[in-house]
């Protein structure tokens, strides 16, 4: 007479499960006991078994280490083959933070801030015409907050640099153009190019380059204060007939229709203050000529003048006298309203 079995549901619940718990296993008609630890080790040897390696630090991203589904902590390049990686949610901020190889030596973060103008996105992307591998460095801004200079802005670009030093050596904006050819034979090279495209104007001020120096203290001694400074630094070499000038002005293009050219000039100076300047042009230099006039025919009034004498034989009384300062001596050049 057989002993009646007991339903599993009728068995009492285990109090504290353990890997050493045993359960019966039948092999070849013989019943053996097996622990949970033994069963787990056996399953781990099965083909296609998915393994799991616990993380080194809490909060690490779990990644698949192979294509069968084994999981481990992220220790290398993590790939999202399906597309983007997102930090945060709408209404929950998130940043991408990168650490360098040396401990406690800073971080690089890419974070989003609230856009007060509306729900607009900003994308940072490479140009489609990049032709080489490149590393782009973000320089020291010299301040806690700063902005990038970009090639398009509704408010223009502002490069701001501040210094509290009494003897600063500083540039707010510095450019460097290096031309390594021994002899340049054509084209152009400019350190800074200012360009304004416009159609016409009846008022206002427009310039390719505007240099402004604002001084609110005392200017004295050997101070050089200029709105625009042109400098040629010669370190040997040879000048052989080239046009060399710290400042060069030129009219280019085709001649326009001229109806009133009374205000056109190669060099123009306007004193917008009530201060009387010491001079309009100051030459602190040695030169063969004060002025060198070439390829001109309209500078000189020749009517009535022959053989170096005045047309009426007697020079007229000067109506004005032009004062020219040479060193510590003032010289006077008589001016007459007519030469006949």
Dump the DSSP string for 151-196.
S--TT----------SS----SS--------SS--SS---S-----
Please indicate, yes or no, if residue 317 is contained in any of the structural domains. yes
From the list 43, 45, 50, the residue with the least C-alpha distance to 65 is: 50
Q: Which domain holds residue 316?
A: 306-340
pTM of the predicted structure, to 2 decimals: 0.62
Distances (CA, A) of 100 to 75, 95, 144: 15, 16, 21
Please indicate, yes or no, if residue 96 is contained in any of the structural domains. no
What whole-number distance in Å separates Cα of residue 332 and Cα of residue 320?
A: 10
Please indicate, yes or no, if residue 326 is contained in any of the structural domains. yes
What is the separation of C-alpha 232 from the centre of its chain, rounded to a whole number of angstroms?
Answer: 26
Please indicate, yes or no, if residue 29 is contained in any of the structural domains. yes
∠ CA(61), CA(65), CA(67), 5° rounding?
125
**Residue 92: both structure tokens together:** 């929950």
What whole-number distance in Å separates Cα of residue 176 and Cα of residue 195?
A: 19
56 and 27 assigned to the same domain = no
Tokens 């007697």 belong to residue = 314
Number of domains making up the chain = 3
315 and 339 assigned to the same domain = yes
- The pLDDT, as a whole number, for residue 230 is 92
Using the 8-state DSSP alphabet, how is residue 39 labeled? H
Please indicate, yes or no, if residue 222 is contained in any of the structural domains. no
What is the separation of C-alpha 326 from the centre of its chain, rounded to a whole number of angstroms?
Answer: 46
Over its length of 340 residues, how does the chain's per-residue pLDDT go in tens digits? Answer: 455 677 878 888 888 999 999 988 999 999 999 999 999 899 888 888 888 888 888 888 888 888 888 888 877 788 888 899 999 999 999 999 999 999 999 999 999 999 999 999 999 999 999 999 999 999 888 888 888 888 877 778 888 888 889 998 888 888 889 999 988 898 889 899 899 999 999 999 999 999 999 999 999 999 999 999 999 998 888 999 999 999 999 999 999 999 999 999 999 999 999 999 999 999 888 898 888 888 777 766 555 554 455 555 667 788 899 888 888 888 999 888 776 6
Please indicate, yes or no, if residue 25 is contained in any of the structural domains. yes
Please indicate, yes or no, if residue 219 is contained in any of the structural domains. no
For residue 172, what are the contacts with CB-CB under 8 A and spacing of at least 6?
A: 159, 160, 161
From the list 261, 239, 242, 240, the residue with the least C-alpha distance to 251 is: 261
């Amino acid at each position: 007479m057989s002993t009646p079995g007991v339903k599993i549901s009728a068995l009492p619940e285990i109090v504290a499960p353990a890997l050493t718990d045993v359960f019966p296993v039948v092999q070849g008609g013989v019943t053996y006991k097996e622990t949970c630890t033994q069963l787990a080790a056996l399953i781990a040897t099965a083909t296609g078994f998915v393994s799991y390696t616990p993380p080194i630090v809490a909060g690490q991203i779990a990644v698949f280490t192979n294509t069968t589904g084994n999981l481990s902590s992220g220790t290398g390049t993590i790939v999202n083959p399906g597309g983007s990686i997102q930090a945060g949610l709408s209404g929950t901020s998130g940043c991408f933070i990168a650490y360098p190889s040396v401990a406690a030596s800073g971080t690089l973060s890419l974070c989003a801030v609230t856009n007060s103008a509306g729900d607009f996105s900003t994308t940072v992307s490479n140009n489609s015409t990049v032709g080489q591998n490149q590393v782009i460095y973000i320089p020291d801004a010299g301040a806690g907050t700063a902005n990038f200079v970009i090639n398009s802005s509704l408010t223009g670009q502002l490069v701001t640099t501040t210094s509290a030093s009494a003897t600063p050596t500083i540039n707010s904006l510095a450019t460097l153009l290096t031309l390594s050819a021994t002899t340049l034979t054509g084209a152009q090279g400019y350190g800074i190019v200012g360009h304004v495209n416009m159609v016409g104007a009846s008022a206002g001020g427009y310039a390719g380059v505007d240099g402004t120096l604002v001084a609110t203290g005392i200017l004295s001694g050997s101070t050089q204060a200029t709105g625009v400074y042109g400098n040629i630094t010669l370190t040997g070499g040879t000048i052989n007939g080239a046009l060399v000038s710290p400042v060069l002005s030129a009219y280019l293009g085709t001649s326009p229709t001229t109806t009133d050219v009374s205000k056109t000039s190669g060099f123009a100076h306007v004193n917008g203050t009530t201060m009387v300047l010491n001079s309009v042009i100051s030459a602190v230099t040695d030169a063969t000529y004060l002025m060198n006039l070439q390829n001109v025919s309209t500078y000189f009034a020749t009517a009535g003048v022959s053989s170096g004498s005045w047309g009426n034989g007697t020079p007229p009384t000067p109506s004005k006298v032009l004062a020219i300062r040479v060193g510590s001596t003032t010289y006077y050049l008589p001016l007459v309203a007519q030469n006949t």
